Chain A
Amino acid sequence: MSRRDQKRQQYASMFLPKKQASDSGSYGTDKKVCGTCAQYSESAYSNDGRGSCKFLKAGSDISKNQPVYVLEGKEGFFTKTLFDASLCKYYEKMRMIDKDGYECSDPVYRRSIRQLQNN
Chain B
Amino acid sequence: MQICSNCKSYFPLEEDNKKGDCVRRVIDRRQAYYLSKIVKSEAISCSYFQEKK
Given a CB threshold of 8 Å, the question of whether A touches B is answered with: no
Give the interface of A toward B (CB within 8 A): none
Give the interface of B toward A (CB within 8 A): none
